[in-house]
């Protein structure tokens, strides 16, 4: 398959956001993040990202203070070790885009860590819906001016694997944690971004 563009998830496929959540609340960060993901994927229509982060903290017994700490330390998010090199190589050959579930402000703050400019940047806040709603993926495709069948989506989560596939895109799952997906297998799957260069 010859692709004409690549769309990336931001906070899991390109960035190690897991580590930041865990640094904010050592030993509990991933439980908190998992609950936040459940709330986000179940929300559908956009409500403030920060609200869901705070609600998730409260629901797993952490109170609300960690949410403020997470936002304050948001600029500490780091890319995966191979991200900048792989993203730069892909961007030198194809149009690239990001489709992320965070707010406009937090999305652009996080993207500063990438070291590579992203010409097409789509957030759930501006679309008005959270992934895996097809409108988020569709907005990225519209801005690229391409059909779903000509674009590869690089997912970092199970929900993105399913959402992007339902939107008609082939999916490369950067499955860093070795998770499982039941409903639909991605076309490509690897615990690193490096093999993406062999795909595109």
Q: Where are the domains of the chain?
A: 5-16+77-199, 17-75
End-to-end CA distance of the chain: 8
pLDDT of residue 1: 66
Return the CATH number of 5-16+77-199, one of 3.40.718.10, 3.60.10.10, 3.40.50.1000, 3.40.50.11540.
Answer: 3.40.50.1000
pLDDT of residue 55: 96
* Contacts for 111 with CB less than 8 Å, ≥ 6 apart: 10, 98, 118, 121
Cα atoms found within 13 Å of the Cα of residue 29, Cβ hemisphere only: 14
Global confidence as pTM: 0.94
Whether the Cβ atoms of residue 140 and residue 7 lie closer than 8 Å to each other: yes
User: What's the CA gap between 101 and 183, in Å, rounded?
Assistant: 21
pLDDT of the chain, 200 residues: tens digit per residue: 689 999 999 999 999 999 999 999 999 999 999 999 999 988 889 999 999 999 999 999 999 999 999 999 999 999 999 999 999 999 999 999 999 999 999 999 999 999 999 999 999 999 999 999 999 999 999 999 999 999 999 999 989 999 999 999 999 999 998 888 776 689 999 999 999 999 99
Helix, strand, coil % (nearest 5) of the chain?
Answer: 50, 15, 35
pLDDT of residue 3: 96
pLDDT of residue 182: 72
pLDDT of residue 44: 83
pLDDT of residue 181: 75
- Both tokens assigned to 158: 């199970």
User: What's the CA gap between 139 and 43, in Å, rounded?
Assistant: 18
Does the domain spanning 17-75 belong to CATH 1.10.3470? no
């Amino acid at each position: 398959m010859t692709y004409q563009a690549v769309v990336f998830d931001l906070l899991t496929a390109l960035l190690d956001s897991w580590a930041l959540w865990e640094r904010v609340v050592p030993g509990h960060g991933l439980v908190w993040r998992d609950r936040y993901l459940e709330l986000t994927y179940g929300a559908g229509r956009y409500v403030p990202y920060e609200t869901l982060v705070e609600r998730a903290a409260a629901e797993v017994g952490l109170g609300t203070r960690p949410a403020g700490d997470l936002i304050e330390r948001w600029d500490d998010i780091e890319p995966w070790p191979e991200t900048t090199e792989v993203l730069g190589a892909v961007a030198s050959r194809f149009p690239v885009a990001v489709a992320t579930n965070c707010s406009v402000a937090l999305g652009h703050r996080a993207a500063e860590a990438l070291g590579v400019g992203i010409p097409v940047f789509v957030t759930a806040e501006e679309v008005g819906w959270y992934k895996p709603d097809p409108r988020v993926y569709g907005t990225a495709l519209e801005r690229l001016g391409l059909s779903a069948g000509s674009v590869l989506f690089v997912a970092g989560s199970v929900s993105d694997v399913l959402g992007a596939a339902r939107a008609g895109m082939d999916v490369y799952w950067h499955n860093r944690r070795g998770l499982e997906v039941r409903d639909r297998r991605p076309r490509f799957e690897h615990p690193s971004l490096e093999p993406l260069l062999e795909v595109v």
